[in-house]
Amino acid sequence: MKSIYILIVLSPLIGSIITGLFGKKIGRVLSHRIAVLGVTISCLLSLYVLKVIIVDQMPAQNLTLYTWLGVGDLSIQIGFLVDKLTALMMCVVTFVSLMVHIYTIGYMHDDKGYQRFFSYISLFTFSMLMLVMSNNFLQLFFGWEAVGLVSYLLIGFWFEKDSAIFANMKAFLVNRVGDFGFLLGIAAIYTYCGSLDYDVVFSDPMIERLASTKINVWGTTEWTVITMVSIMLFVGAMGKSAQIPLHVWLPDSMEGPTPISALIHAATMVTAGIFMVARTSALFEMSDVALNFVIVIGALTAFLMGLIGIVQNDIKRVVAYSTLSQLGYMTVALGVSAYTAGIFHLMTHAFFKALLFLGAGSVIIAMHHDQDMRNMGGLKKYMPITYWTSLIGSLALIGFPFTSGFFSKDAIIHAVHLSKLEFAPFAYILVTAGVFITAFYTFRMFFMVFHGEERMDQHTKEHLKEPSWVVTMPLILLAIPSLVIGGLTVENILFGEYLKDVIHVMNPDHQVMSMMTAEFHGLLKFVWHGLWQPPFILSMCGVGLAWFIYIKKPSIAETCTKICSPIYKVLDKKYGFDEFNDVVFASGGRKLGGFLWKIGDVKLIDGLVVNGSAKLFAWLSEIIRKMQTGFLYHYAFVMILGLLGLLAWILIKLGIV
């Protein structure tokens, strides 16, 4: 199996290298064929690994490929940990990536950076596979930083646009904040565990040691090391998975081409933080402080980011804020120890969110790259495939019965309701209210784009049509799992023993998944029970209100905007996070840099050290120069003085004087 794992990882990398270095020589067609072939091989082999794990009951494999670094007692190795969680993530990442690769052939057809884009997205896939397959924290960090680097390249792919350069720099800097905390957490793990290997760190003796060792925080408060480490690791997850307040980069990532928006938001970068917390659940389980922190951050993100989605008019930004909100749901699930529910929602969300992004891209192609929903309307009759697939994605997003999102989102909300952690009731209110908000902004987008009055200009209207098959085929292939994958896997993954050997919840107060499993009596009863719960009722109210406002009485939207002008402005300004960051960090950083330049560079270094030393030696030179008179008797006199001084020193040393 080792050779298969290596091939899974290296196939996209080889495709990326060939396409990136030789794309101009081999041409567009061969470039995309090589890139697609690499990801196809990786996807098929990942599905084979999943089959071997499920059907053949292959146990988890921890393989070491080679030792990368050895210094004293520190040995850093490159290897793979392939268990049920890894296999699931490999399949999700490679399948969605394959759909994006195929879609890109149509979407980026006329772009001059065609080969470069394929090289980047293949490299993105390789980086994410290295992340999810790692068996130690350093390799995890390599994949972590690699997806960050490639996202920087892809968000700023159209580097001629100032907004794209600003967006990719913003993403890079915000993620550096999260990654600093993540790196501190990894350093603390090595300090107290003496190893970065998962097997060592997650062993019972090491967990007990981390949980029993206490340190002073801010000089007055004592925390266990495991609490400190868990919070530091989660700060990294806040950056990668865009949780408040490190969420600001993700909406601006829409400056990149639509295919990469789908790849970042659905299956790669933003899911890395969720995966990492689930992988390190053994640490988080030993700290209620860390879990409560995760719950609060996730709940605020789920609720507040959903509200912003209501006022967005850019079709891609609506879907982007939807991603932020759904990541909040996954984070809340992790916080209440429902790691299985969080991973399950990660999986279902990957399919329907990729579908929604690619559907939005299909609309953008038809609209000649106009992304403003106020210029759309009535596209149903022009784009039937995009319409029906987008409807499936929208229904899955709001958790409509029997769609994939229904099973995963309902499970999260119920898990929060059952949790005994201190901030779980607070989170339950926000995530339940978030269901109504999600349904409202999702179908606001759907109705504005596909129904109602046609608001596009005449030229656009005359050329409206469904894009080519390379665009529509991925939509159909993603719509299928968006519709059925939840129902097919809920009993095995969510309520079964699929992740039993991967995630261990030992604390009796955290057994929300065990309680939910005991209540599960089959798929149909699960759906029937959900039909009478607040989430389903609220989602239907959200859909109904969106229909009434944007189809039946469109004038209500403008009236509400005027009446609720202060609230609208707050949401339109995104709660002022960007302005705060610009004033405090960006502008403040420039002012601090200017101050340090004036004091440090100009006055201290240039003025005192460089120019000051030059002036000092000039002054000394001036004095010494005057001693060089050129008269022989002056030199003879100085020599006599020197000789007398030497004789006096010798006499003193000998004790004669």
How would residue 301 be classed by pLDDT, with cut points 50, 70 and 90?
very high
Positive or negative: CA dihedral 552, 554, 555, 559: positive
Which of 146-150, 270-274, 279-283, 587-591 has the lowest average pLDDT?
A: 587-591
Nearest to 553 by CA among 631, 453, 622: 453
pTM of the model: 0.89
The whole-number average pLDDT for the span 558-583 is 85
pLDDT per residue as tens digits for the range 228-269: 999 999 999 999 988 999 888 888 888 888 888 888 877 677
Q: Is the pLDDT of residue 437 over 70?
A: yes
Find out whether 176 and 135 touch, Cβ atoms under 8 Å: no
- Alpha helices (runs of H) in 336-423, residue ranges in sequence order: 339-366, 384-398, 404-418
* Residue reference for tokens 């994958």: 485
State residue 307's pLDDT score: 93
Q: What is the pLDDT of residue 214?
A: 83
Q: Is the pLDDT of residue 547 over 70?
A: yes
- Across the chain, mean pLDDT equals 89
Statement: residue 413 has pLDDT above 80: yes
- What local confidence, expressed as pLDDT, does residue 216 receive? 77
**Residue 515 to residue 393: CA distance in whole angstroms:** 30
Token digits of residue 242: 């865009």
Position 308 confidence tier, pLDDT thresholds 50, 70, 90: very high
* Alpha-carbon gap, residue 439 to 394, rounded angstroms: 8
Q: What is the structure's pLDDT at 321? A: 92
- pLDDT of 219: 64
Query: 């609220």: which residue's tokens?
Result: 538
Summarize pLDDT for 5-51 with one digit per residue, the tens: 999 999 999 999 999 999 888 988 999 999 999 999 999 999 999 99
CB atoms within 10 A of CB 404: 32
Amino acid 267: pLDDT? 65
pLDDT score at 123? 93
Task: Kindly state the average pLDDT of the residues 179-196.
Answer: 91
What is the structure's pLDDT at 67? Answer: 84
Instruction: Provide mean pLDDT across the span 92-96.
Output: 93
Q: For residue 558, what is the enclosing H or E element? A: helix 555-563
Question: Which range (121-135, 143-157, 611-625) has the least confidence?
Answer: 611-625
Residue 590's pLDDT is: 80
Report the pLDDT averaged over residues 199-212.
88
User: What percent of the chain has a predicted confidence (pLDDT) above 90?
Assistant: 46
Confidence of residue 529 (pLDDT cuts 50, 70, 90): confident
**Least confident interval from 154-163, 410-419, 590-599:** 590-599
The alpha carbon of 414 is separated from its chain's Cα centroid by a whole number of angstroms, namely: 25
Q: Give the per-residue pLDDT at 220.
A: 67
Q: What is the pLDDT of residue 278?
A: 92
pLDDT attached to residue 541: 94
pLDDT digits (tens, 9 = 90+) for 346-387: 999 999 999 999 999 999 998 988 889 999 988 998 999 999
- Name the band, by pLDDT with cuts 50, 70 and 90, for residue 601: confident
Kindly tell me if the per-residue pLDDT of 596 is higher than 70.
yes
- Please report the pLDDT score of residue 522 as a whole number: 86
pLDDT of residue 78: 87
pLDDT above 80 for 631: no
Largest CA distance in the chain: 118
| Residue type, position 32, single letter | H
Of 484, 337, 478, whose CA–CA distance to 411 is shortest? 337
Query: Residue range 574-592: average pLDDT?
Result: 82
DSSP string, 188-227: HHHHHHS--BHHHHTSHHHHHHHHH-EEEETTTEEEEHHH
Phi first, then psi: give them for residue 196, nearest 5 degrees.
Answer: -115, 5
Q: Report whether 360 contacts 262 (CB < 8 A).
A: no
> Is the model's pLDDT at 657 over the cut of 90?
no
- Rounded distance, CA 446 to CA 387, Å? 9
Residue 203 C-alpha from the chain's centroid? 28
pLDDT at 258: 84
- pLDDT score of 145 more than 70: yes
pLDDT recorded at residue 634: 74
Residue 553 has pLDDT above 90, yes or no: no
More confident residue, 613 or 432: 432
Q: Which residue has the tokens 């046609």?
A: 454
Q: How many residues does the chain have?
A: 657
DSSP string, 135-171: SBHHHHHHHHHHHHHHHHHHHTSSTTSHHHHHHHHHH
User: Which tokens is 361 given?
Assistant: 């891209």
